[in-house]
Each structure stands twice: as structure tokens, then as C-alpha cells.
Chains A and B, each alone.
Chain A
Amino acid sequence: MTGILELPEEIRPFIGKFLDTNAIQACLLVSRSFHQSFEPILWQKVVIRNSKVDPVIGIKRVPIDVDALKTRTRDVHNYVIHDRVDSQFYELSFPHLKRLQLIGNSSAVSSRTLKNEDNGPLPFSYQTQVADQNRLVRLNPTTRTLVVTDLPATPNTKFWETIHSTWFSPQILHATGPVASTQEAANAFWKACTRFTELTLLRLTVEYSPILSTLTFPRIRYLNLETTPGVQSRWLRPQDHLVLMKACPQLKHLTWNASSFSSTSLSLSASALLLEFRQAIEQNHWPYLDSLDFCKLYISKPGGKELTLLLQDFPNRLTALRLESCQFNIRSLRLLKDPKFDSLRILKLFSGCGVTSKMALDILTSCPRIEVFRSTHIYVGDVDPSQPWVCKRLRSLTVCFIHRESTPSRAELDLNVYAQLAKMTDLTRLDLGQYSMGYTTSDPEFHLMDAINTLDLRLKAGLGHLSTLSKLRFFGFAFSFQVTGEAELLWMMEHWKELRTLVGQLGGIVWSALRAMEARGVEYRLSGRGI
């Protein structure tokens, strides 16, 4: 007779992996055997904070007893430690630690770095903290992911040297804010970076390092950089971002938030940098690069040719492109229809790119291999039945269909959209929600009154045509203005058997439909009168 207690030790963590904290806490009270099996799972993630009340949410937190923690070090996989906690929490070695996160108080950071005070002796607590941090990284060389966030006690040379020379197989480094306040520490920081495969560096404050330009980062495949204007001392200079990029020969994915370039005071050096970047692309400096994510890649103001030229010069097979606040104009669109970009599978266009409704439709009607597409809006009136959508492999579509305020016969036009959507039978994710629109007054087609005329999602308007989307798992219709209700929900349960997440709003309470969804295990975030 096999019951749950007969399952061997090794299987219980597989179950525990799918349980939330409340469920595990309940399991601990079931029986001695359950307690023994599931207690290690509770200790997989440990968060140490410096006060009893979470300042942001106001939730009372129960502090962790360090002696209890000492008996459970073998179970900890993810250790998150805030600053200004007792040193004892830094003296622990976790033999199976995978992720380590050190979080500081950001307001303390900005006052210290901007006042440039670090030349003098550090206040006592910071000195202890620096020593504590060093001890923690020395004791935990199994760490794969290190997250360092706005630390008021900036890591010193020893911190980074320890990581560089003793950590077994680091993979991901995610650093925000100050990482090194002396040249020696900065050198050690960059050397440590050469051991990682993924780097995310946001608003980095690091002393100038002369060795950066001599280093290569052979393991880095993923890079996420947020440049800051180099005007404040120690903020990583834009040109150093480029030096770093060029030192990553195995780079596969680049996320670059170049928001500093938009500041006019930098426009001259920014031009030179973008040109250098483009030349590197043209010369195939990154032979494995196939995924790009740009935000604000323009100089002074949007409308430039930077993106078009970049795409033109791109030598590889581009698989994924994500853009925000970068001018994506007709010329860029024309380029994407070129056979060179047959490899493009993922295209996500967020706000501020100047993408018009016709341009978005052009992609759906001309790019057969796109699998994930996101844009801000499409006017229902622009959908032409004589120009069918060709992207038969589309599995995820995020776009808001709206009517121009002046449009008369909306019902007929809505059916055109339904006819096209119904053919996209590989869709697993369909999000027609308003929030995804995100277009602003700077977008050429923005017109406030259009935003309230969304596609009618009621059954009587044609929702039933979408019964062909049998693989659908996610359906979003947030802020749509035609009220969907019980009939629609029950229809969705009936026809979309794989649906597991629903986001939108309803007219009134529909208890029976909600119960049906719960029985199916559908996660829903619905709002409406009475809910």
C-alpha cells in the first residue's frame, strides 16, 4: 500500500519545489515524518533583514534565530541579507548555496557617493560591514548567482579578489550601484567579472580602472547594461560600457539602456560611441550575437537613423529584437522584411518607438517566421481581409486593437480581426489588454479618445470565432471597454481547455464561472463590480 509517506527521501523535494511557503508551513504540522521531509524545503530561501517591520510594506516580520540557522546551513540554496544586520549572519558557510544577494539601503548610498566622502576612514559600522561581506563571500564559494544591490559599504579589493580566485563556478552577476571605490578595488572587480557568464550592471558606480581595456571576458554570453551620464564622478563612463562590450567575444544577447545618450550635453561623445558600436557590429565583432534589446538608443531626440543603420549593418542571423523608445521607422521595417531577417522569431516593440498601426500590421502580413510579437496598438479599421496574416507559427501576441473614435460600423470590422486571429492556431498567449499599449503623447498616432474604443470581446461580437485557439494558456483583456461576463467566461472554460491564466475585468460577480475556473486551476486576476 503506497502512501505519501512511502515515497523515498529524494522525491519529496520535487514536490516541495511546487509548494508556496504557506503550504510548506502547513505540511510541517501534519506529522513527524512530514515535518522531517519538508523542513529542509522551508530553509531553501532565507532572508535576513535589519528590523522587525518591513519599512515599505509595513508587514511585521519575525526575525530568524541565528542558532537555528546554523543547524540548517545544508538546506540553504538562496541567501538574501540586508545591510546593518548582526555580524553573525555573515559568518555562515552554506555548502549548497546557489544564490547570494546583498541588499543595501539606497538612500544611504546616494548621499555617500555624491559627497565623495570615501577617501577618509569609514565609519566603524561600515568597516565592520565590509569585513563581514568579505567573510561571507569567502565562506560561500559554491555560489552561482551573486546579486549586489546599492550597498552602502562598498565592496573592497578583497571582496572581488576572493570571488575571482576561490569561487568554483560563478554564472550570474547582477550589480546595481557602487561596486568599487578605489582603483585597486575596481581592478579586482573587473577581474572577478571575467569569471561570470552573465553580467547585469545597472547604474554602476565604480572607480576608473586602467586595466579594463586590457581584459577579455571570454565567458560572457549575456550582457545587460544601463549607462549613466559620466558626469558624476565614478559612474561608469559610457565609453567604458563600450570597452566592456567589445571585450566579450562570445556575446549572444545584449540589453542596453542607453538613456544617458539622450542628454544633449553628451550628444557629441554619444555620436562617436554609437558610431563605434555600429562599426563593431558591421565588422562582426560578436559572431554569436543574435538577440538585441535597446532602450533609448538615440542621440538628443528620437527620430534618428541609428537603429536603421544598425540593422542594415547587422551581419548575423538576428533571432530576437526588443525595442523601447528607439525610433523604429518605415526604413527599419522594410529591412526586417528582407530575407536576411528570416531568422527573426521574437519582436517586441514597446512605447516610444513610433510604430504605427499599419506598420504593426505589415509585420503580421509579411513575416512568416515570427513566433512572439508585441506592439502597442492596431486600428481595427486597418485590418484588411484581403491581406491575411502570414505568421502561422505565432505563439504569443500582445497588442491592443482599438477603433478610431470616428469609426462607424465597428461590429463588421471587429469580425475582420476575429477572422485573422482565429487562424493563429499555435497561439498559447494572447494579450489584447490596454495596459500593453503604453503609447504616449510622443507617439504619432496617439489620440486619447481612441483608447476607450477597444475590440469588442463579447460572444455576440465574435469571440466565438476564437474556439480554434485550442492551445491558448494565457488570455489578457485588461481595461477593455466592452463588458465581458459569465457567458464569456463559461465559453472560455469550454473551448480553451489549456487556459491557465486570465487577466481582465468583468461586469458583475459571476460565482459559478469563477468556481469552474478554480476547479480547473486557472489563475485569474479579474476586476469588476463586486469582485
Chain B
Amino acid sequence: MPVILVSSDNQDFKVDKEVAERSILIKNMLEDVGESDSPIPLPNVTAAVLTKVIEYCEHHRNDPVQVPEETDDPRKRSNDIEEWDMKFMQVDQEMLFEIILAANYLDIKPLLDVGCKTVANIIKGKTPEEIRKAFNIVNDFTPEEEAQIKKENEWAEDR
């Protein structure tokens, strides 16, 4: 049973219902609309990003639905990304952030997690200057402010 998704730049994407329902937003929409053939507009997602999102959902169509966790995993692992997902996430930064935004909007938690873990892995182990270089960010602190911040946050222990 196919579903038609329409990107913000008016491109149609025909997708199996099972695949589309990896997005909780779409799943809820389909439940509300019932047995209708009308296409679902996604004004916040461009065709390029939607292509990637659909690729992810296709690959993971048979994954068990994740139970939402109340408590934070104390170990906070970000190194447990599957091989296929790692390759999938080898995109330029702009696409990476677009995927994260789309996963958030469409409510696809596993994709959001993978995207955020990928960003976390870029940040980990880097000095502030290296983080700035990685994301093209300008340092708008004065040296005095930097010194003060360092002092203010020395207390933090391992999480």
C-alpha cells in the first residue's frame, strides 16, 4: 500500500506505508486521515533531504519499534553506530544538520539519535579551536571571558 509524500520543492515520493510509518508524525497523520490516497505534504523537508530520510527508513523498515526510555543511559555511548548508518551519515555538514532537523520534525527517533551521535563524535576529543574549525564558527569571546569561563566550570566531574 503506497503513500505519497510531497517535499517542500513539490517533488512526489512514492513510499510503502510500512516505510513511511517509521516517522511517527506521518504515522499519526495516516491514522487521522484513514483510507485516503491524498499525498502528504512535508513543507519543512526538501527533496534532497527527503531522499536520504526515505533511504534510511527503507533500510530500517524491519527494525523493532524503540520503546521510549525514561531514564538517560548513564554510559552515554556514541560509538555504537552501525556500519551501514555510519556510511549513510558520511555527508557534508549541511546535509547532516538538515537530516537531524528532518528527523526531529518527522519524529524518527532512531535517525535523530544517529545524527546527534555523529555530531557528538565530531565534537569529542577536540579543543575549542578545533571545534570551531570543524563547524566554521567564529570565536566571539575576549581572552578575559575565556579565562573566566574556564574557572567557572572547573568543578564539573565526569558525567
Q: Which residues of B contact A8 (CB under 8 A)?
A: 101, 104
Q: Is A473 an interface residue (CB 8 A)?
A: yes
Which of B22-30, B35-43, B59-67, B138-146 sits within the interface? B138-146
Pick the residue among A3, A18, A30, A62 that contacts B154 (CB under 8 A).
A62
Task: Name which residue of chain A comes closest to B99, CB basis.
Answer: A2
Q: Is A35 an interface residue (CB 8 A)?
A: yes
Task: Name which residue of chain B comes closest to A497, CB basis.
Answer: B83
> On chain B, which size bracket covers the interface?
35 or more
Q: A3-B136, A28-B149, A473-B80 are in contact. Are A61 and B131 (CB under 8 A)?
A: no
Task: Name which residue of chain B comes closest to A10, CB basis.
Answer: B104
B137 and A30 contact, CB distance less than 8 A: yes
* Chain A residues within 8 Å of chain B by Cβ, number: 52
Q: Which residues of A contact B98 (CB under 8 A)?
A: 2
Task: Name which residue of chain A comes closest to B137, CB basis.
Answer: A31
Which of B5-13, B50-58, B118-126 sits within the interface? B118-126
Q: A30-B128, A30-B131, A98-B71 are in contact. Are A45 and B154 (CB under 8 A)?
A: no
A20 and B116 contact, CB distance less than 8 A: no
> With A and B bound together, what is the CA distance between A144 and B77 in angstroms?
23
A32 and B159 contact, CB distance less than 8 A: no
> With A and B bound together, what is the CA distance between A33 and B138 in angstroms?
10
Q: Is A482 an interface residue (CB 8 A)?
A: no
Q: Is B32 an interface residue (CB 8 A)?
A: no
Q: Is A449 an interface residue (CB 8 A)?
A: no
> With A and B bound together, what is the CA distance between A63 and B154 in angstroms?
9
Pick the residue among B82, B86, B123, B140 that contacts A31 (CB under 8 A).
B140
Q: Which residues of B contact A473 (CB under 8 A)?
A: 80
> With A and B bound together, what is the CA distance between A98 and B74 in angstroms?
13
Q: Which residues of A contact B81 (CB under 8 A)?
A: 521
Task: Name which residue of chain B comes closest to A63, CB basis.
Answer: B155
Q: Is A498 an interface residue (CB 8 A)?
A: yes
In the assembled complex, how far is the CB of residue A41 from the closest CB belonging to chain B, in whole angstroms?
9
Q: Is A34 an interface residue (CB 8 A)?
A: yes
A521 and B79 contact, CB distance less than 8 A: yes
Q: Which residues of B contact A20 (CB under 8 A)?
A: 76, 124, 158-159
B135 and A4 contact, CB distance less than 8 A: yes
Q: Is B127 an interface residue (CB 8 A)?
A: yes
Q: Is B31 an interface residue (CB 8 A)?
A: no
> With A and B bound together, what is the CA distance between A45 and B117 in angstroms?
20
Q: A31-B141, A32-B140 are in contact. Are A498 and B79 (CB under 8 A)?
A: no
B155 and A62 contact, CB distance less than 8 A: yes
Pick the residue among A14, A29, A33 that contacts B150 (CB under 8 A).
A29
Chain B, residues 71-115, CB within 8 Å of chain A (1/0): the string is 110001111111100100000011001101100100000001100
In the assembled complex, how far is the CB of residue A37 from the closest CB belonging to chain B, in whole angstroms?
12
A17 and B72 contact, CB distance less than 8 A: yes
B127 and A26 contact, CB distance less than 8 A: yes
A27 and B120 contact, CB distance less than 8 A: no
A68 and B152 contact, CB distance less than 8 A: yes
Q: From residue 57 to 71 of chain A, which have CB atoms closer than 8 A to chain B?
A: 61-65, 68
8 A–B contacts, CB within 8 A, in A order: A7-B97, A21-B157, A32-B140, A45-B157, A45-B159, A98-B71, A500-B80, A521-B79
Task: Give 5 nearest A-B pairs by CB, closest first.
Answer: A18-B120, A29-B128, A18-B78, A521-B79, A497-B83
Q: Which residues of B contact A (CB under 8 A)?
A: 70-72, 76-83, 86, 93-94, 97-98, 100-101, 104, 112-113, 116-117, 119-121, 123-128, 131-132, 135-141, 146, 149-150, 152-159
